Amino acid sequence: AAQELDTMYFCNTCGQPLCAPCREETHRAKMFARHEIVSLSKRTKDIHKKCPLHEEPYIMFSTEKKSMLCINCFRDMQGESRAHCIDIETAYMQGCQRLDQAVMAVKELQTSTREAIVLLKAMIEEVRNSASEEEAAINSLFGRMQEQLSERKKALLKAVQSQHEEKEKAFKEQLAHLASLLPTLQVHLVTCSAFLSSANKAEFLDLGYQLMERLQRIVKLPHRLRPAQTSKINSEYRAEFARCLEPLLMLSPRRSVVGSAGGIGPGIAGTNMLPGGQCSKTLMVPSCPPASDKMSAGPIVRKPTMHRYISTKVLLAEGRDTPFAEHCRNYENTYRMLQTEIQGLKDQVQELHRDLTKHHSLIKTEIMGEILQKSLQMDVQIAAHYSAVEMMRSVFEEVWEETYQRVANEQEIYE
C-alpha cells in the first residue's frame, strides 16, 4: 500500500488524484502542461499548510477557536480575538505537552483499572472465604446455644417440678389440718346445740360459762386458715434463658426484672410478697458457667437482699432525679412505714403471748380486736403497695428494654 501511495499523484489544478498511467494519458496534452502535479504523499503532508479559504500558508494558531490562521484570517479577526493567537511552533509545543499529559492520565487510569481488577478478584476470593467462615461460626454458635439452652431447659423444668412438689405438699398438709379441724368444730357445735336445748337455767349458769371458755379457746388457737404461700410457680425462664446466652452472645449482663435485682453471683434468688404479707420462694437456678468450670459449678444460691439494699442506698445517694430513683424513694419510705407498723404489732403479740404463757393472765378481747383490726389494715396496705409495685413493673420494663436496645445499638456501631 505504501508503494502504491508513492506512485500516486495529485493535480492541484484539477483537484484530482492521479495514478501513474492516468498522469501519462490524461495530462500528456499541452493544455495540462501548466497544471501543478505533485506526489500524493507530499500533498498529504502539506495539505494543512495553506488556508483553504485564502490559499495562504498558515502562520498563527487561535487558542480560543482551536484553529490555524493565515495572514488574511488573522487580519479579519477582531482585536480581542487576536490576543489569543500564537505562532505555529509554540502552539505545536503546547499541544504536544497537553497531549502527553492526556496520554499520561490515560495510562494512569489504565494502571489503576488493572490494579482495581486485581483487587476486586482478590476481594471476591476474600468474600467467599469470609462467607465460609461466617457460616461455620453461625453453625458453631447455634450449636452451642442449643446445647446451653437445652441444659438450661432441663434445669428450669426440674426447678418448676421442685416448686410444684413443694407447694403441693404444703397445701396438702394445710388441707389435712383443716379437714381434721372440721369434725372437732362440728362436735362442739352439736354439743352446744344439745346443751342449749336440754339444760335448764341452773344448769346453764353452772356449765354454760365453762362451755363458752372452751369455745373461745378453740377459736383463739392459731389455725392456718390462709394459704401459707401463693399458687403461682415462677421460674423466671425469660431472664434465665437470656442470662444463659449472655456469655455466648457477648452481651452486657442484664438484670432480670423480678428476683434478680441485686444478683451478682451465678445464681438468682428472690421473693414475691403476697397481699397477706407472706413470701413465696422464686426459682433459684445457676447461670451458665464458663466451659472451663462447668463441671464443678453447682446450683449456688445467694440472697440478693443485702446487695439490693446497698445498691438502693447508692442510687439514692447519687441524688439523680429520675423516675426510677423517685420510685425507689417512695418504695423505701413505704417499706420503712410498713416495717415499723408490723414491728409494733409483733411486739404487742409477743407481749400478749408472754402474759398468757408465763403470767397466766387473761387477755382482753378489746386488745385482741384492736390487733386483729390493725392486722387487717396492714394486710390491705401491703396488698395496695404490692399492686402499685406490680403496676410500675411494666412501665420500667419498657424503659429498660428501650435503654438496653439503645446501648446495644451504640455498642454495635462502636464495634
Rounded-to-integer distance, Cα 371 and Cα 366, Å = 9
Q: Mind listing the pLDDT tens digit for each residue in 2-23?
A: 445 457 888 877 877 888 888 7
Amino acid symbol at 306: M
Rounded-to-integer distance, Cα 337 and Cα 331, Å = 10
- What would the mean pLDDT of 60-85 be, rounded to a whole number? 82
The beta-strand segments (E) located in 54-125 are: 60-62, 67-69, 85-87
- What would the mean pLDDT of 287-311 be, rounded to a whole number? 43
Coil, helix or strand at residue 253 = coil
**pLDDT exceeds 50 at position 253:** no
Q: Mind listing the pLDDT tens digit for each residue in 188-232?
A: 888 888 888 888 888 888 888 888 888 888 888 887 777 777 888
pLDDT interval class at 256 (50, 70, 90):
very low
* Fold held by 1-49: Double Stranded RNA Binding Domain (3.30.160)
pLDDT interval class at 66 (50, 70, 90):
confident
Q: How far is CA 108 from the centre of its chain?
A: 47
Q: Identify the pLDDT of residue 288.
A: 41
Which of 101, 92, 69 has its CA nearest to residue 82? Answer: 69
- What would the mean pLDDT of 47-61 be, rounded to a whole number? 77
Amino acid symbol at 40: L
Span of 31-40, 288-297, 385-394 with lowest mean pLDDT: 288-297
Rounded-to-integer distance, Cα 260 and Cα 264, Å = 8
Range among 57-66, 111-120, 291-300, 379-388 with highest mean pLDDT value: 111-120
Query: pTM of this prediction?
Result: 0.36
Question: What ranges do the domains of the chain cover?
Answer: 1-49, 319-415
Any idea which residue has 369455745 for its cell? 215
Q: Which element (helix H / strand E) includes 10? A: strand 9-11
Measured CA distances, 92 to 67, 95, 99, 203, 215 (Å): 12, 5, 10, 149, 132
Rounded-to-integer distance, Cα 42 and Cα 12, Å = 12
